[in-house]
Amino acid sequence: MEKSNIYIGEIIRNVMADNQVTKAEVARRLGVRPQSVDYMLTRKSIDTDTLYNVSRALNYDFAMLYSLREGQTNCDVKESVYNVATAKILVELELKPEDLARLNLKKRISDVLK
């Protein structure tokens, strides 16, 4: 069986950095000493109870990193480019009557709706 290339301590550290959560705050949320968090962040693997508790403390599902589903995106894989084919953007503007007249929007909107 192939071994996992997931270094969970590093991933937890990255999630903490992304969410701007300090070691002291994680320790408080877990009810442990900050030294325990330091130790956890050096680990390649941790037990499932700890993984569950850290997931809850950081509101991040670390267990999904270990899923065996094909095509899964893991945070230990380099970032890939995300292409958007189309996008719909709605903008709400409040225009004064003189702005509408200047832009001739009433006629343009009427033409579009015909």
The domain made up of 8-66 has a fold known as 434 Repressor (Amino-terminal Domain) (1.10.260)
Residues 100-114: tens digit of each pLDDT:
677 776 677 778 777
CA 26/CA 50 separation, integer angstroms: 12
Cβ proximity of 66 and 4 under 8 Å? yes
Confidence of residue 6 (pLDDT cuts 50, 70, 90): confident
pLDDT of residue 26: 95
The residue type at 42: T
Domain ranges of the chain: 8-66
The residue type at 81: V
CA 105/CA 113 separation, integer angstroms: 12
Altogether, the residues listed in the chain come to a count of: 114
CA 87/CA 90 separation, integer angstroms: 10
CA angle 59, 84, 75 (to 5 degrees): 35
pTM: 0.57
Q: From the CB of residue 64, how many other CB atoms can be counted at a distance below 10 Å?
A: 13
pLDDT of residue 75: 52
Residues 70-80: tens digit of each pLDDT:
555 555 555 55
Residue reference for tokens 């508790």? 53
